[in-house]
Structure 1
Amino acid sequence: MAFIAALGLLMAGICPAVLCDGTLGRDTLSHEDHGKGRQLHSLTLASSNTDFALSLYKKLALRNPDKNVVFSPLSISAALTILSLGAKDSTMEEILEGLKFNLTEITEEEIHQGFGHLLQRLSQPEDQVEINTGSALFIDKEQPILSEFQEKTRALYQAEAFIADFKQPNEAKKLINDYVSNQTQGKIAELFSDLEERTSMVLVNYLLFKGKWKVPFNPNDTFESEFYLDEKRSVKVPMMKIKGITTPYVRDEELSCSVLELKYTGNASALFILPDQGKMQQVESSLQPETLKKWKDSLIPRIINDLRMPKFSISTDYSLKEVLPELGIKKVFSQQADLSRITGTKDLYVSQVVHKAVLDVDETGTEATAATGVATVIRRQPRTLNFNRPFMVVITDMDSQSILFVAKITNPK
């Protein structure tokens, strides 16, 4: 099972840039701060990331109720957090609060140190799960960037920096798209279809995830079957099948859905949420961080006599410029944006936020405890669990409890 996502933030100039002598307003984060970031309880970060992931999911699903949804909240929040390094005052606060950080409980420095450490840890090579994430800055050759901003992005986020000539937009676009394509193993060949003439800087973040199911499906058992788009329409899809699998499962009678966890070899798992026919919107509207926790705490290993799941490859392409303001991130898109910790002057604003994601699910890949009285745990083992209608997927890194991506499959074709 593979998931690949990339996000690009395109920054345009408001006026010709003039490099000032001003600094970011504080000393570069020290090694002591770095240590503090490492000690930051990972659950604080995971809680904010989960809140942001589900909030953004609701916005995207509401805009396209009958379409597939696939995105990486981690890739999006990583790029925006890096951007906040260059923001000041209310612009910076809007970004971080829009990412669901409570700035009265966690400092800006702790956020960056914790986030940087998380991304670094996720990128550590592992035999069983491949997670590759990284960031890059593409800076116009005529746009002066404060060295302190570049140093912080490199030190905290290992962001690479490249010089681009945005006066030659096609060449600059090719440079950026080739970089993203290379980092995502060709899965995302064109992050940007066009660049604005006034572009001064592009910030890119990518995330690639590849996992193998702990208990794989047998390709010989895959068969063609119906997937019901709604009560009247269906499509033929390749349906994977496995019999007699023991895996964490819970039935939520209150929300009319079944929840199944399939684990990968390594430190990741996938939560599959299957609403009853016609109940998708009910489940979506009730989706909160507490809902996910309730399900995870209630999962109990059960024998599924017959598990069926479609094999698919889907991709999505989002412009988030209209969506993020609905989460409170507004000023950075206007000419009132203060990104002066990037250039020393208020000469930049964000003109585009582009996110592309690809999700592949096939046969090879992708101790539970019960909670007390929140979800209703089914007392008999389910005979069949058939994902032959719209369902959701949440992929989580189990060590950090960070959501890597969220998806809704309304049509696997």
Structure 2
Amino acid sequence: MKNILALLSLVLLLAASCDKHEEPQPEPVPFSLKSAELIEQSFDFNWNIFKALNDEAEAGDNVVLSSLSIMQAFGMAISGAGGDNLDEMLSVFGFDSAEGLHEAYKNIREALASADPKVVTEIVNSAWYRDTYTIKESFFETLGKYYDAEISGLDFSDEEKSKQIINSWVNNATHKKIPSIVEDISPEHVLFLINAVYFNGEWSSKFDKGKTIDAPFYLTDGGSVEVKMMQQKADFVLSHGEGYSALRLPYGDGTFNMTVILPSEASSNDELINNLGGIWKELIKDSHKVEVNVSLPRFKLECDYELIPALQSLGMKLAFSDDRGFENIGAGGLIISEVLHKTFIEVDERGTEAAAVTSIGFELTSMPQELEFRVDRPFVFVISEKRTGAILFSGKVENPLG
């Protein structure tokens, strides 16, 4: 099983029917028009980072990430960025001002926390700094105002104790799904910015465990594995497009959903991911529900990444090399030395439990017929929230067994 980890000292851990009816639409979040537009323009980052990580993956690897976690962690980092480094970082995340980014990220975090009382969504941030290093008060003020970050100074010279304190926070924030993110604290480390995201939602229409069967799942390489295939017949939003079919599985009151996107026999997950931004814009417009026979494998995956190469491929370079790029944090020349991202997801008959941590580390330098949606080959999934449009988790499943 391939683990997905992302540490950066910012711990970021389908067809027509005569029985068609409309899916109820939730009330929109009362964002200002400006904030709503800023949130929407940032969505491209979801697909860009997904594609970048998929490009790095070996053939047959599963990929699971939380762009929401990555964005929250880097939002905190951007609080201390300046000059060309700030402009470069903002561009990668789809913003032209730090204030706009901070406001949008705060709105998303607060809206998701209360979006559905039947779904647990927790997004928490923290900053851990070397107690002998002076951090500018304005940096801490921004972290508190927009990210509600827990801020603590630690004696990093006591490496084991500092790691235990930080990783205990991570373990608690992810409900023990991701026990740790910080592996080493070097003499050069002065700051870790960490985000954790936890999601736990029950399906609006649960799968009956008694109907789960052993069935083959056909792998990209032509082989197959035996999986626990969950089954149910119910009304869902089912969509078809060029090269894919997609099924929307709601959680709780229907505000949160998992969209399962299955490539056609002639297509692949990689082709889907390369075009996912455009496909997603079409999928979120669909609201027609039809009765569908659904077969979906149980899966439990863990992944971990070092995100710097992927972020560099998206155009973020100065943050990792320009020792003047974070002068709004403190003196001495800071660069980001690591960006670690870890994710966990488990999908079963009850619903979905998922967690992610991102850590950013800073160092000194100096129809008429019955419809069927059978997921018995590799697929892509996206967990999203309707009102904000926020994407919490996304990934591709090449092998449900890991």
Same-fold status (TM-score > 0.5): yes
SS in 2 for 1:10: coil
Which among 295, 302, 323 is matched to residue 315 of structure 1? 302
Q: CA deviation at 1:126?
A: 4.6
Q: Unaligned 5+ residue runs, structure 1?
A: 12-36, 367-378
Q: Deviations over 1:261-319 (max 9, x none)?
A: 1111132111110012351132222222x321112224521221x21000111010010
Structure 2 residue identity aligned to 1:171: K
Which among 286, 292, 315 is matched to residue 275 of structure 2? 286
1:364 corresponds to 2:320: no
Change (3 A) 1:380 1:140: farther
Q: Deviations over 1:189-248 (max 9, x none)?
A: 1212223331000000000011111111001111111111125211111110012x1111
Q: Unaligned 5+ residue runs, structure 2?
A: 11-29, 353-366
Change (3 A) 1:326 1:361: same
Structure 2 residue identity aligned to 1:220: G
Rounded Cα–Cα distance in structure 2 between residues aligned with 1:396 and 1:310: 20
Q: CA deviation at 1:349?
A: 0.6
Structure 1 residue identity aligned to 2:75: T
Deviates more, 1:188-197 or 1:388-397: 188-197
Identity score, percent: 28
Tell me the equivalent position of 1:10. Answer: 9
Rounded Cα–Cα distance in structure 1 between residues aligned with 2:81 and 2:216: 50
Contact 2:76 2:143 in 1 (8 A): yes
Aligned residues: 362
Q: Deviations over 1:322-359 (max 9, x none)?
A: 1101111110111444101111x352110000000001
Q: Deviations over 1:156-189 (max 9, x none)?
A: 1100101122222222222211110011111001
Tell me the equivalent position of 1:89. Answer: 83
Rounded Cα–Cα distance in structure 2 between residues aligned with 1:54 and 1:172: 35
Contact 1:49 1:73 in 2 (8 A): no
Deviates more, 1:227-236 or 1:76-85: 227-236
Q: Deviations over 1:84-131 (max 9, x none)?
A: 010001111111111122x1xxx3212212211221222238520110
User: What's the C-alpha RMSD, in Å, of the aligned pairs?
Assistant: 2.0
Give runs of aligned pairs for residues 187-266 of structure 1, distance below 5 A. Answer: 187-230=177-220, 232-243=222-233, 245-252=234-241, 254=242, 256-266=243-253
1:173 corresponds to 2:194: no
Tell me the equivalent position of 2:291. Answer: 303
TM-score between both structures, scaled by the size of structure 1: 0.83
Rounded Cα–Cα distance in structure 1 between residues aligned with 2:174 and 2:302: 13
Tell me the equivalent position of 2:314. Answer: 327
Tell me the equivalent position of 2:20. Answer: none
TM-score between both structures, scaled by the size of structure 2: 0.85
Rounded Cα–Cα distance in structure 2 between residues aligned with 1:49 and 1:358: 24
Q: Deviations over 1:345-400 (max 9, x none)?
A: 3521100000000011011115xxxxxxxxxxxx6555321111110111111111
SS in 2 for 1:211: strand
Contact 1:8 1:203 in 2 (8 A): no
Which among 371, 383, 388 is matched to residue 383 of structure 1? 371
SS in 1 for 2:53: helix
SS in 2 for 1:340: coil
SS in 2 for 1:209: strand
SS in 1 for 2:231: strand
Rounded Cα–Cα distance in structure 2 between residues aligned with 1:269 and 1:174: 35
